Structure 1
Amino acid sequence: MLKKWSLLAISVLFFITGCASEENQEEVTDESLEKVKLVLDWTPNTNHTGFYVAQEKGYFEEEGLEVEIALPGETGANQVVASGKAAFGISAQEQITEARTQDIPIVSIAAIIHHNTSGFASPADKNITSPADYVGKTYGGWGAPVESAVLDSLMKQENASVEDVNIINVGNTDFFTSVKRDIDFSWIYYGWTGVEAELRGMELNMQYLTDYSDKLDYYTPVITSNETMIQENPKTIEKFIRAVSKGYQFAIDNPEKAADILIESVPDLDDELVKASQKWLSPKYQADAKKWGIQDVEVWQDYANWMYENELLDGELDAESAFTNQFLPEDK
């Protein structure tokens, strides 16, 4: 290993042997890197492009890191990160807000997308053009209390009630199967499912959450770590975020090349969908923020207040402790 040899010894060895074998060089590199794990929130998609770019372009290695990108298990990324079994994870502001009020020590260390790109989607032939049209319709979700609260929040603005919506749990059934079989509308992220609908030739009606309330313009997804990691290994987090920032900046500046990297890294993905999604999403990573990843305490406080008012939290959130911008690269 390099740390066991002086520069002089390495020079003499190189002179004697001519050059080290490629196998030995790889061993030196691997053993000198700090290994950390990143747990995704879902299967790989364009929300995660920056990580795969950082891996492929060598940004992690430049920071002395070897990063394992792992899929979430049954327990999910939040629990794995909170327990310290992974250094980093992907989550969303609503999940962290709930976790923090339950004393689960996860912290958001960067926002992947600066504005909420989600909303309620339905095929155009369902004739759902506003929240008032949800009355008498069937909504397909995943069984979380926040779904009913968000639906009701939007519907109240048009003098309608969520009590008049038939809400069913469709689990992991995909949007396109569900709307043909069981439901009229669902909550989607347009950057993936909406773009896929475009490619399928399916016209959608969308009600974006941000069109109805500033309080629902929260960060989703975000990168997380845990309090112990922040206290004991801040340099590792700094290196990780510096590499990831480069990865997302590359994806912002080069959507087509970034899409190619994601496709090569995850061959099971649909090439056409990845490229179209990346083109749509790349401008959204930073949007109108002064730099990628930055978070605002008002965004955290506003959404926490909304959740508390809608009885989705056991207690009020200490917004300043739920996130940090300290690991983002300094402006040049």
Structure 2
Amino acid sequence: MLSFSTASHRAVRRLLALVLALCTVFASAACGSAASTDANGLRNVTFMLWWAPDTNHIGVYVAKNKGYYREAGLNVNVVAVAQSGAEQAVNNGVADFSLSTLTNVSTYATKGAQLKQVMQVQQKPSAIWCALKSNGAIHRPRDFDGKTFATFGSSESDAVVRRMIQTDGGTGTFDKVTVGTSTFQTLTSGRADFGGFYSTWEGVQAELNGPELRCFTEPDYGVPGNADSIGVITSNKIISSDPDLVKKFVQATQRGYEYAYEHGDEAAQILVDEAPEANLDIALVKKSMKMIIDGEYWGDRAKINSGEQTFGAIDYDGTQQYFDFLAQSDAYTDANGDVVTTAPQSKDLATDTYLAK
């Protein structure tokens, strides 16, 4: 199975913003599925994968398997990510819902997209920035100075790495090489010295199968807020034209993730069974879910169970801190490639009004 780094999840989405979507805006009504019904009278809904099936998507597969969507009157079709990217597909009506980060929504918004996050699953960062453990020249972030970064070309990732190096006492200067398919392969081949991963997926994969990594986390080295605000997105058009559909999908999906948060091993098996095309390793999926649950990446479990915290609520403050950091780092650009210095506002790009409280 190929490994994709956090840089890919973040950066590829930035680059794809400029790629043509599969359908034009004028043809989006014909491309979308939410207006039709299946033979059982269920509303057809298209959910597009953000990348390959993994534990970020697990709640959707659990909701399908447990019949939560059917109970809501929905027939949810999970489809592979489009060449144009999931965000662009949702923006143009090719898909009704997908996963993304609120950071990606903010980046697309500066380019004119009309997207909104309607449920935030991940409540704290899981990004790790790593070198091979065998690389004796790198023991802390300031050692990235003068080394080669395996990147997908994102100014966001550059800003994060630079801040981490400078917080650790370095200058923040580094070379870059563009990753082909796998950051792991780029590091082991010697083409680069360090790169970005998700601790809850690639980090687990490295623990199980190697290579051994030496990693550093963003909050420990000066990067504020929550960069990895993974959750469900839809278009402003669907929200305005069919808010009941959004409510039904969000609440059924919310149930799926909540179930997975309480039954990690069972949810892992459901993901493996429901996404056979991904050839997922059950040991990897189970260990990933254990890390998510033990680390409470999706929220404080005790507070969720007591009702004090709503699963899927938007972290407006944490995401805004990160947006402000990116704007101060000149990481935002408009559709013409010009730098946008005013930070997007998370309160304008997300809503948790459709969640079951």
Q: Is the 8 A contact 2:96 2:234 kept in 1?
A: yes
By how many angstroms is 1:214 displaced? 5.6
* 1:324 partner letter: T
Report Cα offsets for 1:303-331 as digits up to 9, x if no partner.
1211110111224313311100101101x
* 1:176 partner letter: F
Report Cα offsets for 1:10-56 as digits up to 9, x if no partner.
xxxxxxxxxxxxxxxxxx97431001111111000011110000001
List 4+ stretches of structure 1 deviating above 4 A: none
TM-score (norm 1): 0.86
1:274 to 262, 285, 288: 285
- 2:156 corresponds to 1:146: yes
1:70 to 74, 79, 85: 79
Q: Secondary structure at the match of 1:74?
A: coil
Map residues 55-134 of structure 1 onto 2, 5 A cutoff. 55-127=64-136, 128-134=138-144
The range that moved more, 206-215 or 221-230, is 206-215
Residues 302, 61 of structure 1: alpha-carbon distance in 2 compared, 3 angstrom cutoff: same
Larger Rg: 1
Specify the alignment match of 1:324 in structure 2: 351
Q: Secondary structure at the match of 2:116?
A: strand
Q: Percent identity?
A: 27
Q: Is the 8 A contact 1:218 1:300 kept in 2?
A: yes
By how many angstroms is 1:216 displaced? 4.1
Alpha-carbon distance in structure 2 between the residues aligned to 1:55 and 1:47: 15
* 1:180 partner letter: T
Specify the alignment match of 1:286 in structure 2: 298
Q: Is the 8 A contact 2:149 2:177 kept in 1?
A: yes
Alpha-carbon distance in structure 1 between the residues aligned to 2:263 and 2:330: 43
Alpha-carbon distance in structure 1 between the residues aligned to 2:103 and 2:196: 15
By how many angstroms is 1:266 displaced? 1.5
By how many angstroms is 1:219 displaced? 3.8
Alpha-carbon distance in structure 2 between the residues aligned to 1:262 and 1:132: 39
Alpha-carbon distance in structure 2 between the residues aligned to 1:202 and 1:47: 23
By how many angstroms is 1:260 displaced? 0.6
Q: Secondary structure at the match of 1:37?
A: strand
By how many angstroms is 1:87 displaced? 1.2
The range that moved more, 153-162 or 66-75, is 153-162
Specify the alignment match of 1:209 in structure 2: 218
Q: Secondary structure at the match of 1:155?
A: helix
Question: What is the CA RMSD across the aligned residues, in angstroms?
Answer: 1.8
Q: Secondary structure at the match of 2:134?
A: helix
Residues 297, 265 of structure 1: alpha-carbon distance in 2 compared, 3 angstrom cutoff: same
- 2:202 corresponds to 1:183: no
- 2:172 corresponds to 1:169: no
Q: Is the 8 A contact 2:55 2:289 kept in 1?
A: yes
Tell me, which stretches of 5 or more residues in structure 2 are unaligned? Answer: 1-36, 304-308, 333-339
Count of residues in Structure 1 that have an aligned counterpart in Structure 2: 301
- 2:331 corresponds to 1:312: yes
- 2:60 corresponds to 1:51: yes
TM-score (norm 2): 0.80
Alpha-carbon distance in structure 1 between the residues aligned to 2:40 and 2:141: 56
* 1:275 partner letter: K
Alpha-carbon distance in structure 2 between the residues aligned to 1:286 and 1:120: 21
Q: Is the 8 A contact 1:304 1:316 kept in 2?
A: yes
* 2:50 partner letter: D
Alpha-carbon distance in structure 2 between the residues aligned to 1:171 and 1:220: 25
Q: Secondary structure at the match of 1:31?
A: coil
Report Cα offsets for 1:225-257 as digits up to 9, x if no partner.
111111111111111111111111111111110
2:45 to 29, 33, 36: 36
The range that moved more, 224-233 or 289-298, is 289-298
* 1:178 partner letter: T
Q: Secondary structure at the match of 2:259?
A: helix
By how many angstroms is 1:215 displaced? 1.9
- 2:253 corresponds to 1:244: yes
